[in-house]
Copies of this chain bind each other. A is one copy, B any other.
Amino acid sequence: MTDKPIAGNMLIAQSGGPSMVINQSLVGAIVEAKKHACIKKIYGARHGIKGIMDEKLIDLRKESPATLEAVAQTPSSALGSVRRKPTPEDCATIFQVLKKYEIRYFFYIGGNDSAETTFIISEEAKKASFELKCFHIAKTIDNDLRENDHTPGFGSAARFVAMAVMGDDLDNRALPGVKIDVIMGRHAGFLTAASALARVEPDDGPHLIYLPERPFSLDRFVADVKGVCDKLGRCVVCVSEGISDESGEAIAAKFIKEKDSHGNAQLSGSGALGDLLAGEIKTKANISRVRADTFGYLQRSFPAIVSKADAREARQVGVEAVKHAVREECGSIAIKRKPGKKYQVYFECVPLKNVAKETRHVPPEFINEAGNDVTQAFLDYARPIVGDLPKIGHFKGAKVSTIA
């Protein structure tokens, strides 16, 4: 803690997969920064750490309030993003650039990898005895950051998923069959779990939900789908892209070779897993109408259907990061939930290393015993984050007596 905040420039950047509200956090931080005299220039780096290393910076003080508000409402990362795990040499380079531009306030918006990057840079600064306030601003549709009740971006992506499955289940009622929806989530199944919010009537889908937190067996999957079809004559299944077998190998990875720079198999942007699962049902369950959709990038970038709570909280996380930066050294702003029936959150500054690297998983109390559905506790948790969903109408359907 310093008595008086250090004067200097600010730099902010975005990293990892975009979300529908990541620009709310960005604009929240910019607008708040303008209120603090100790913050001089406000720079934005293009495409995360890549833009810092290449010195591709823009002057965010020159953006009008109207532009800032328009950007805040726009999905995806307005500064551009990057998927790059910096090497120790990269971190040294980044730190040199920050020093050169007299940056004293550094904000990095992203997931756990971004928190790790922020932490490494803060360590570099310490080693060099350069006072640099490093803040991570949480963002991930996967909802997999430790310390957080939930993360900015999750609520809106979950809202897309719930709405999509609502419509898809109605579609599958009209033309009955088996429908498999593959939803983002490599290690954490929160987004797939959110599909359960689509249910209103007792026979509404999704009828089966598989998360990466439980081992996935193709045989049990086929048996589960058969069971639902025997009862309802149709079945909507939601699976996380990251579902894995007993040994921990991703089902999709058996078929997908491409790896990203973090060494992870590329699960999104491919229909392979859905097609594989559909093939299993067709051949082993002897059901003819089987379809699979992979929601893909739409679930993180579709415009104009954001969760209001998510937009509001994403904005506030950006604001809080700046407020804390002018008081404390480094950290990450976590969203915490107040106990009680009414949905209320508060924001807490937590150490960077508490959020970095490791991910959070869907806790056991949110998954049913059979491992093919979520619990009421999950629904209660997720509903206020996602907000009210469209109303669905059904006919009462008074049957007409058959004429002999």
**A residues lining the B interface (CB < 8 Å):** 14, 17-18, 20, 23, 41, 43-44, 47, 55, 57-60, 62-64, 67, 69-83, 100-101, 163-164, 166-168, 170-171, 173-176, 179, 268-272, 274-275, 278, 290-298, 300-305, 390-400, 402-403
Q: Which of A166, A292, A302 neighbours the largest number of chain B CB atoms within 10 Å of its CB?
A: A302
Q: Are A81 and B301 in contact, with the CB atoms below 8 A? A: no
Q: Smallest Cβ distance from A7 to chain B, in angstroms?
A: 18
The answer on a CB contact under 8 Å between B18 and A174 is yes
A-B contacts, 11 of them at CB < 8 A, read A60-B395, A70-B392, A71-B395, A74-B170, A83-B175, A163-B304, A164-B302, A167-B298, A271-B292, A294-B294, A294-B296
Chain B neighbourhood of A170, CB < 8 A: 18, 74-76, 301, 303
Interface centre among A43, A304, A397 (most CB of B within 10 A): A397
On whether the beta carbons of B304 and A297 are closer than 8 Å, the reply is no
Cβ-closest chain B residue relative to A177: B269
The answer on a CB contact under 8 Å between B298 and A291 is no
Cβ–Cβ contact A291 & B297, under 8 A: yes
Tell me how many chains of this kind the complex includes.
Answer: 2
Judge whether A291 and B269 touch: CB under 8 Å.
Answer: yes
CB < 8 Å neighbour of A393 from B43, B78, B163, B292: B78
Given contacts A14-B174, A60-B395, A76-B173, 11 further A-B contacts (CB under 8 A): A18-B171, A59-B400, A63-B395, A63-B396, A64-B396, A67-B394, A71-B394, A167-B298, A269-B290, A270-B292, A294-B296
A393 & B71 in contact (Cβ 8 Å cutoff): yes
Residues of B within 8 A of A271 (CB): 270-272, 274-275, 292, 294
Residues from chain B with a CB closer than 8 A to the CB of A392 are: 70, 74, 303
Residues of B within 8 A of A269 (CB): 179, 278, 290-293
Chain B residues whose C-beta falls within 8 Å of the C-beta of A176 in the assembled complex: 80
CB pair A294–B297 under 8 Å, yes or no, is: no
Q: Give bound CA distance, A400 to B271, whole Å.
A: 41
Give the one of A18, A174, A275 with max B CB within 10 A: A174
> By the criterion CB–CB under 8 Å, are A393 and B77 in contact?
no
**A136, chain B: closest CB distance, angstroms:** 18
Q: In the complex, what distance in Å separates the CA atom of A83 from the CA atom of B394?
A: 21
* Closest partner residue, chain B, to A402 (CB atom): B55
Nearest Cβ in chain B — how far from A51, in angstroms? 11
Q: B275 touching A394 by the CB < 8 A rule? A: no
Which chain B residues lie closer than 8 Å to A67 at the CB level?
Answer: 393-396
Collect the chain B residues with CB atoms within 8 Å of residue A166's CB.
Answer: 303
Smallest beta-carbon distance A139→chain B, Å: 12
